[in-house]
Structure 1
Amino acid sequence: MPEVELTLEWPDGGRSRLYSPSTVILEHLAPGQTVTVAELRAKGTLALRQASERVRARYGFACTRADEEERRLLERAAPFGDRERVGILSA
């Protein structure tokens, strides 16, 4: 499956990488977008769960790395307010 890594720029100026085992994430989060932290949590969680299910459909097991990425995304987003903005910089 084609993997995707996005670079996120957080409200504090910090950057992090978001890994997905599937391009389905690009249907939810695209380079060049700016989204609120609340949107990032919702879209990122949905996209990573869909990506994990695509792995399950193809290989017979879920992607544990997608689960870990979801946990890391939510943890990284926690200090910020729902309306603060996050930039999606690259894929």
Structure 2
Amino acid sequence: MPVMHFKVRWPDGHEIDCYSPSVIVSEFFTPGTHYPVRDFVSRSKEALNIASERVREKYGFACSAAMDQLAQIEELAERFTDESAAVTVLELC
């Protein structure tokens, strides 16, 4: 199953590399695009849940790494309450 990484920059300038066990994230994010934090979390949740389910379909169990990645994204997002705060997707690889 092809994996995909996506690098993002949080509103405070902090950059992280995120993991997905599926290329599905390329349907939810475009490099160079700014997403309001809530939208980014929502898109991440949907994409990573789909990716985890694809793993379940293929191997019989959900992808804990995808769920760990989602938990990290949700935790980081809690720091940004300003509605104008945005996450930038830097690259998909």
Per the TM superposition, whether the score is higher than 0.5 is: yes
Q: Is 2:10 aligned against 1:10?
A: yes
Residue 84 of structure 1 pairs with residue 85 of structure 2:
yes
After superposition, where does 1:69-80 map in structure 2 within 5 Å? Answer: 69-80=69-80
Unaligned runs of 5+ in 1: none
Q: Which sections of structure 2, spanning at least 5 residues, go unmatched?
A: none
Deviation at 1:60, TM superposition (A): 1.0
Is the 1:49–1:66 Cα contact (8 Å) retained in structure 2?
yes
- Please give the alpha-carbon distance, in whole angstroms, between the structure 1 residues aligned to 2:25 and 2:72: 16
Q: Provide the residue aligned with 1:36 in structure 2.
A: 36
Q: Between Structure 1 and Structure 2, how many residues are aligned? A: 91
SS at 2:11 equivalent = coil
SS for the counterpart of 2:17 is strand
RMSD of aligned alpha carbons: 0.9
| Superposition deviation, residue 18 in structure 1 | 1.1
Shift of 1:83: 3.1
Determine the structure 1 residue equivalent to 2:47. Answer: 47
Measure the CA separation in 2 of the matches of 1:9 and 1:38: 14
Displaced runs of 4 or more, over 3 A: none
Q: Identity rate of aligned residues, in percent? A: 36
Instruction: Give the TM-score taking structure 2 as reference length.
Output: 0.92
- SS of the counterpart of 2:65? helix
